Each structure stands twice: as structure tokens, then as C-alpha cells.
Structure 1
Amino acid sequence: LKMKFALAWAVAAGAIGSGFQHGYNTGVLNSPQAVMEEWTRKVLNNPSNFAVKMYWSSVVSAFCVGAMCGGALSGIMANRFGRKKSLLMNNFLVVLAVISMVLAKNTSNIYLLIVGRFIIGINTGLNTGLGPTYLYEIAPVSQRGAIGCIYQLVITTTILLAQVMSIDGLLGNMALWDYLYCVVIIPAIYQCFALWNATESPRYVLQKEKDTLSLLNTLRILYPEERVLRIAQQVWNDVEDGKNLQKVSIKKLFQIPRLRIPTMIILALMLSQQTSGIDVVVIYSAGLFEMKGYRKSTANAVSIGIGIVNMLATLFLVFVIDVFGRKPLLMIGFCGMIISTVGLYTLVFLISAYSVAMYLWVILVYIYVLFFSISAGPFPWVILPELFSTSARMTGISFTVCANWFFVNIVTVSYPPLLSAMGPLIFLVFIVFQVLSLVVIWIFVPETAKRPVEMITSLFDK
């Protein structure tokens, strides 16, 4: 991954600042749930278990609803203020969210926690739209996949960080849980400093200023002089390619074939990510360890192991995604998940009879996570900005990001009761979804690696 310092600086600013909020805020509520429910009982003077569960669902849903709102706003902000300025402004929401969540504990006000999670959800939704777009638009075609995967690498790393920080011996206890929500201030401050000294997206510069000289000056900051003219031509072609699609609305996303097809592809990939079963595999594993009488520390160790596998697999993907291409890796990943899920479903019926089956279960879970991490996990975010020309990109991204968080909310709310009602049969449902996703990828998803955007979008005109 050879690049000029200015490009590396901009990539770090976009990926670390935005990816941290996406990953950490998604993972921070999972581990300390029991502590948070105990705090809720104290605040509400020993309410019923149903009331506690309803409150907890409200906290989780507030984040997802906020992320939906942020995703919907990302296109408006990016087109009006630019990618860089929008990311800078977004960090103001982090400060508001942290104040609200810290005050929630100090004032014993459960509603402030819901408000804080809603605000940080807006921040996360904006980051999921703005972050990948900024990285895509500053990346050269030859490194587009790798730079896009760096964002996902930060997500997986910070999910792991949230798991570790949520351990009872660190911040996941009654005395210190509010500090879990203060951690996000650090990447917000970093991104403000780093982006202030980074360049704006070259595509936005050309689209906004319509000045070739400004474009060339921006590109000279990011790339070696010998590559500037060639990349300038690619940026020009990208912007020109979508000129006849000015003022793209959500309605047009479904009316115009070159927008409708990529929109449906992205929605299918977003849905396949949520229906792959990753959340239930983790939840079911924790339940199995509890049922078999293992200590909580053992279950925590397995969960942290899942986070480590997720992170390392994504790190591997950074170096191979532009070599092997998007589509082959997607298909390999889904084939691996199908085989792993079939194995997990089989082991469910063997665990009670054979003690060794528990060890096989852990191995298969790690294999499943590995395949998820090179396919369903990162690829919706990598491919998302690649399928739209500059003029339509932010409308397409804001709509699909909003839809993604809607899917997350539905899955988060529905999986626990489905798991209780269906038990291990739920794995068969995931196998069906995984097979359907594989078929959709095989038939409809184009290869985008090392292809300029006008070549990709032209495929949808045919």
C-alpha cells in the first residue's frame, strides 16, 4: 500500500475518525448489558423484568433509529457542505451524545441515556455514509478496495476494543460504565485535527468549483506528479458520466436503470449482511457455554476470540481485495459461511453427547467468522460508493445506508424472540438466506476491482 504521506494522512483521518464511531458504538452495548439492566432496576425501583427488557430494547433501538436518520442526512450534508466539512461538523454530535450519556448516570435519568444513544446513532449513520465516500473519492483506482477495507478494519478493531473495555475488571461494571461512552471523544478530537489538515475529495472539488486547476492542485497534494493527469482524467470522466443525472432524488433511484440496478444490488448486499446469522451465532454460542456450566470468563474469552478473528481476517482482506477482486471473495465467503452454518447446525445435536463437540463448535464459529469477515461483513461498504457516479453517489448512499440501519434494527429486535421460539432451527433459516445471497451475487453483482466508475456504471445501461 504505497502512497504519499498526504494521502495516508487523509485515509487515516477518514477511516479512524469515522470507522471508530461506527464500530465502537455498535459493539459497546453488548457486553455490559447485565450491568446496565441492574442499573435500570435501581433507577426504576425494582421494576418487572418485562419493563427492564422494554427499556433495554428502547436503548438499542434509539441507536438504530438515530443511525437511520444520520444515513438519510449524509447525502444532503455531503452535497451541501462537502465530504470533509460534513465529517468535521459531525463530531459536534459526539460531544452532545457523551454529555447526555454521562449525565444519565449522574442524574439517574434513564431517558438521557436513550437520548444520548439516539444522538450518537445520528453520528454513526452520518459516518457510515460520509466515511466510505470520502475514502473512495480520494483513493486511486488501483488501491480503492484496500483503502475501503481500512475503514472496515477500524470497525472490527474498535468492536474488539469495545468488547475488551466492557469486561467487568475494566469499565464494564456499576462504578465505571459511564466511562465506556466517553472513549469516543478521543477519535472525534483526532479526526477534527487530522481532517483540518487534510484535503477535500477531488471529485467534490471538481463538482462544486467546476475548475480544472483546483482539481489539479488537489490531486498534486495526494498523488505523485506523474500520476496526476491520468487520475484527473478519471475524476473528470466520473463527474461527466453523471451530469445528465443532476438533482437525483430517491424516486429516480428506482426509475432510471443505471441507478435502479446498483441500488437493488446494494440493498441485497446490506440485507445479506444482516441475514447471514452473525449475531445469532455469537448469541447462541454464549447461551451454549452458559447451559454447559462454563464460567462467564470462558464465554467472554470466546467472544473476544471472535473479535480477534474478525479483525485479523479483515486485515488480510486489505492486502488481497484488489488482487483477487470483489466477486470471487464474496462468493468464497458465502460458500464458507454456508458450509460452516451446516456444521454448526449438526453440532447442536451432538454437544450433549460428546464433550469434544464443544471444542469443534468454537473452531467452526471462528471459521464462520473468518468467511463472514472476507465477504458479508466489509463488502457492502466497499462496493457501495463504487456503483454510483459522482452526481448520484450521495443520494444512493444516503438511501442505502438508511435502509441498512433499518435492517439492523429489525434484526436486532426480532432475533432474540426468534431464537427463543425456533431454537437451533433458526440456523436452517440462515442457510436459506445465505444460499439466496450467493445466487444473487453470482448473477447480479459486477466485478468492480480496478475499474473506473464510468466503466462500472455503463454496465447498468445494457
Structure 2
Amino acid sequence: MNSSADNESEGSSRGPGSTRILALTVCSAAIGGTFQYGYNISIINAPTVYIRGFINDTYMDRWGIGLDTPQVTLVWTLIVSAFSLGGLLGALLAGPMAVHFGRKNSLLINNVFLFVGTVLVLTCRVSRSFEMIILARCLVGINAGVSMNIQPMYFGESAPKHLRGAVAFSSAVFTAFGIFLGQVVGLTELLGTEPMWPYLLGSNALPGLIQVLSLPWLPESPRYLLIDRGDREACVRALQRLRGGEAPVLEMEEMLQEQQQQQLIALKSESASSFKTPWSLFKDRNLRSQLKTVMAASSAMILCGNDSIYFYASYIFLEAGIPAEKIQYVAIGTGASELTASILSNVLIERVGRRYLLVGGYSLMVFWTIVFTLALTLQSHGVAGMPYLSMACVFAYILSFGLGPAGVTGILPAEIFDQGSRPVVYMVTGSLMWLSLILVGMLFPFIINSLGNFCFLPFLVVCLVSAVFLGLTLPETKGKTLAEINAEFDRKNGMKKERMEKQMDEPIKDHYQLGTGCSFSTMTQNPDYDHMKRSMTSSSE
């Protein structure tokens, strides 16, 4: 209790300037990170007709005959699917990259995939090659897959405990901002025209360039520097910059405790590294409940059908009587809805908590799916006003998604897993997310054809099961340490586990115990403390 209170007082005692470097770090990492995911999902919609025409014209130039419509559709499907396949590959690369290069450097290196993809898409028309678009979209997908995993990890490890949720949730805000801005840039008045579509697809290089120019000047994750690299001086310097003053003693104490635990894990496994592999992660009974929870949450975020409703929105708007040439402007409202909800959720997350936002968001989505299905059914029978109710359901569904699942899902692995498990957990959950995206993209057209007005019932089932499962298994993580969260998982899941604290020798455990009245004095007994104190003093401005 004392430790938690002291931590809160430390955070609240710092002025507005104390978060300036943290805010700049968030913006720089996100503009070339999750922003790219939303932006690249969005910009591909506007030039659909032009790219399909380019595919047919290119084939005609090569072979003297045109492609049939199904053949053009097949190539277009490959272009769209290449993004998801690249994302899956990027998710698998993210874990090893985060370990070997660090969080910040991985995000910087990740831009190589983006810039190569930009060159390919800008030269595809001159080269008369639609295959270059497929490769470019795959490389952009790799970029998105890496950043979607590493960026939340970076944020969760760099933010103070009292801002951890809000900082991590900013990943969802930038994703929604990317979707919204991509819709705006894709307007016919801007880059959504036949001559400009290569520049529209290549415009994703600008956010990447901003990141490359700004992120090198900002700090690396302090936890990575101390626990993974063992660089105490660099950790202290990074923490001082991120906190706007001296490194908080209690925060350093908590990191020292986790560092000791990671060393004991490595000794116990007779390995030089404490990092887990996917196989060792699945075998670890102590983490089984946490792993099931984050796997379910990551899969549900895509299987809930939010991305599919973006595509269905055009049909709804057309049925509501909106002229076809005006639909592109109304569709911007869908991106604006998710952006608004994400900003609102970013404000609420440290007040309401993660669990309530996640379960509440899925519960609202269940309600709006029921209303949406009824509206579509009545609309097909010619009932007046139903198209407008369908429109309202589209916006309400997206708002509910942005309010909770869109952002909270990415926070969970950073909060409930230790430093050694975190990279591989993000690799597993990221892979599930991209596999789910591929699955939904392939099945949704068939679902529409077979179920018609009831096409969103499968998504209703996903949202309902997710709300119930996460409500039963996920404890609240707001403002809690890793040890407290693990204890909550044990209690909530009715399991008694032998945690690392019980495996530690008592003298070592005493030196690293948090939340006791002698917390600071026990820290000074740590053999590393004198060295760290000298580092903190010499690095302090």
C-alpha cells in the first residue's frame, strides 16, 4: 500500500513538463507504427477501380488479350491479401527483433520494409508490373505486423504506472487516426484519382520518414536497457528523460526486482537467457491462464467483424438513399467515429479500468449487432426509416469497438507478462490477430451470400462469448504491479501456483520486496544499489 501510494505521489508531483519527452516518444513511435496499420488499411479502398484497370491493361500489353472479370478479381484479392500475409510474417519477426535490437531500434529498422515498398509502388506503372504492387503490399504488411507488436511493448515499458494505460492506449488512437486520415487523403479531390493512385499508396513513406528523423533522439525503453541489456547507466538516463527529473526510486526498485527474477529464471533453466520460446511459453503452467486470456482477446478483436463493417458501410449508405458520389464523404464518418471513441477511451481508461472497457465494449457490440440485424431484415421488407437505423448501427458498432477492444487488447500482454515472456507473447497474439484477419477477409463474402441479412450473427456470437469469457477470466490491471496482477489471476481462476517469489531465496526476496514499510531501506542493501545511486546522481541535471 505504501509503495503504491508513494508511486502515485511521485507521478503526481511532477509538473506538466515532466511528460514532454514521454509525449514526444509516444507520437514519434506511433506515427511510424500503429498509425501505418490504420492508414494502409484505409488507403487501399479508394483506388480499387483504378488498380483493377491497371491489372487488366498490363496483362493486355504483355499478352495481347484482356483478363476476365473473375481473373482480375483474383489478382486484386492477392493484392489485398498480401497485406495480411505480410502482417503475419511481421508478427513472427517482431519478437526476435525486439530482443536483439531493442524496442526503439526495431521500430527504426522496420521502416526499411516500408521504404522499399514505397519505391516498388511508385515505379510499378512505369515498369508495367502489377506484381510489384503485390510485393509492395506484402512489405507494408510486414511493417505493420512488426509495429503492431513492438510499439505497445515499448509504450508499456516506458510509461509510469499511473499513465501506463493511457500511454499504451494511444496505439489505438493513432490506428484510428490512420484510418481517418487515409479516408481523407483518398478523396477524389486529393489523391483518390486515376493519375494519383500510385502516390496515394506511396504516401505512407511520409509518416515513416517523420519517425526516422525524430525517434533516434528519444530514449529507449528503460526496462529493456536494465533487464535485457544490463546497462544500468543507460537505464537511469532514459528514465530521467522520460520522467523529467531524477529517476523514481520505487520504479527503479521494481525493475531491480524483475531483473533478479529474470536472472533466477535463466539460472533455473540452465540457460544464458531468460527469454522464452513459444514452446516454453505454452508449457509454463504459471502463465497458462494469462496466455489463454490474451489469445482470446487478440483473436476476438478481429473476429468481431469491425473491419468487415467498414466494407459493408458503403452498401448501407447507398440503401439509405445517399448518392453514390457522396458516399466517400459519409464513409469518413466511420473513421471519425473510431477516432473519437479511442480518444474518449484514452481519457477514461485510468478512471474506469481495462476490464470494464473491454467487457463493456463487447457487450455494446452485441446489442448493436442485434439492432443492426433487425434493421436489415425490416429494410428488406420495405419498412420506412430502416436504412437510417442501419446507418446509426454502423456508427454505434464502430464507436463501441473503439471505446474498449480496439485499445485495451494491445495493452494486456505488456501488463500481465514479465520482460522475458513479453516479446514471444506479442509474437503469438500478433500472429493470431493476422490469421484472424486473413480468415475474416476470406470468409466474409461467403457469409454475406449465404446468410444475407443475418450475416452479422457470427460476429454477435464472437462478441457475446468474448464478453462472458473475458469478464470471468480477466482481473483489473489498472495501477497494479506484475506480482499483484499474477495474484489476481490466481484468485480469479481458482488456482494456487508456486510463483517466482516463492522460489527465491529469502535473503534475496527481502532485498527486492515491494510494498513494505522498509521498502527503501531494503533496496539500499542490494549490492547494485550503490552503483545505481552513483549513476543516478552523476546523470542528474
TM-score tier by shorter-chain length is: over 0.9
After TM superposition, give the deviation of residue 198 of structure 1 in Å: 0.5
Counterpart contact for 2:43–2:186, Cα < 8 Å: yes
Q: CA offsets per residue over residues 140-174 of structure 1, 9 Å max, x none?
A: 11111111111111110111111121222321221
Q: Is 221-230 or 393-402 further displaced after alignment?
A: 221-230
Which among 278, 284, 291 is matched to residue 250 of structure 1?
A: 278
> Is 1:141 matched with 2:161?
yes
**Stretch of structure 1 that moved more, 296-305 or 108-117:** 296-305
Residue-by-residue CA offset, 1:299-346 (whole Å, 9 max, x unaligned): 223321111111011011111101100011112211111111110111
Which residue of 331, 342, 345 maps to 1:303?
Answer: 331
Task: Tell me the distance in 1 between the aligned counterparts of 2:186 and 2:207.
Answer: 18
Whether the 8 Å contact between 2:369 and 2:456 is mirrored in structure 1 is yes
CA contact (8 A) 1:239 1:391 kept: no
Contact 1:16-1:151 at 8 Å conserved across structures: no
| 1:446-461 equivalent positions in 2, closer than 5 A | 446-460=475-489
**1:200-349 equivalent positions in 2, closer than 5 A:** 200-225=220-245, 228-243=248-263, 244=265, 246-291=274-319, 294-349=322-377
Q: Which residue of 1 aligns with 2:465?
A: 436
Q: Which has the larger radius of gyration?
A: 2
Cα offset, 1:403, TM superposition: 1.8
d(CA) in 1 for partners of 2:418, 2:354: 19
Identify if the C-alpha distance between structure 1 residues 367 and 217 changes in structure 2 by more than 3 Å, giving closer, same or farther: same
Q: Which amino acid aligns with 1:38?
A: G
Per-residue deviation at 1:116? 0.6
Q: For 1:372-387, what aligned pairs fall within 5 Å after superposition?
A: 372-387=401-416
> Which 10-residue stretch deviates more, 240-249 or 27-36?
240-249
| SS across alignment from 1:157 | helix
Deviations 1:91-123 (A, max 9, x none): 122110101111212222011101111111111
CA distance in 2, matches of 1:115, 1:456: 43
Q: Residue 224 of structure 1: CA displacement?
A: 4.1
Distance 2:72 2:259 in 1: 51
Q: Deviations over 1:242-269 (max 9, x none)?
A: 4416131101121112333222211111
CA RMSD, 1 decimal? 1.9
Instruction: Give the 5 Å matches for 1:351-366.
Output: 351-352=379-380, 353-366=382-395
SS of equivalent to 1:47: coil
Asked if the contact 1:35/1:172 (under 8 Å) is kept, the reply is no
Structure 2 residue aligned with 1:66:
86
The two structures have a TM-score, normalised by structure 2, of 0.82
Q: Is the 8 A contact 1:302 1:362 kept in 2?
A: no
User: Out of 59, 76, 99, which is 2:119 matched to?
Assistant: 99
2:210 is aligned to: 190
How far apart in 2 are the matches of 1:129 and 1:218?
22
CA positional deviation for 1:281: 2.6
Match of 2:505 in 1: none
> Match of 1:47?
67
- The question of 1:16 aligning with 2:5 is answered no
Aligned to 2:182: 162
CA contact (8 A) 1:238 1:453 kept: no
1:371 is aligned to 400
- AA aligned to 2:79 is V
Rate the CA distance shift 1:18–1:174 in 2: closer, same or farther, 3 A: same
Is this contact kept in 2: 1:39–1:174, CA < 8 A?
A: no
Q: Which segment drifts farther, 294-303 or 438-447?
A: 294-303
Q: Please report how far the alpha carbon of residue 226 of structure 1 lies from its aligned counterpart in structure 2 after TM superposition.
A: 5.9
Deviations 1:331-379 (A, max 9, x none): 2211111111110111112224233222222122211111111122222
State the AA in 2 paired with 1:429.
Answer: P
Letter in 1 for 2:304: S
- In structure 2, the partner of 1:124 is 144
Q: Distance in 2 between matches of 1:277 and 1:211?
A: 44
Higher deviation after alignment, 235-244 or 363-372:
235-244
- Counterpart contact for 1:6–1:222, Cα < 8 Å: yes
Secondary structure of the corresponding residue to residue 254 of structure 1: helix
Structure 1 vs Structure 2: percent identity of aligned residues? 27
Q: Which amino acid in structure 2 is aligned with residue 51 of structure 1?
A: Q
Q: CA-to-partner distance for each residue in 1:204-244, whole Å, 9 max, x for gaps?
A: 11023424443222211111446621221222233334441
Specify whether residues 38 and 197 from structure 1 end up closer, same or farther in structure 2 by C-alpha distance, changes over 3 A only: same
Which residue matches 1:113? 133
Report the counterpart of residue 49 of structure 2 in structure 1.
34
Matched AA of 1:82: G
Tell me the distance in 1 between the aligned counterparts of 2:383 and 2:294. Answer: 42
Change (3 A) 1:292 1:139: closer
Contact 1:276 1:376 in 2 (8 A): no
Q: C-alpha separation between the residues in 2 aligned to 1:237 and 1:319? A: 31
Q: Deviations over 1:405-461 (max 9, x none)?
A: 111111112111221221122222221111111111111112111112232234455
Give the letter aligned to residue 273 of structure 1. Answer: M
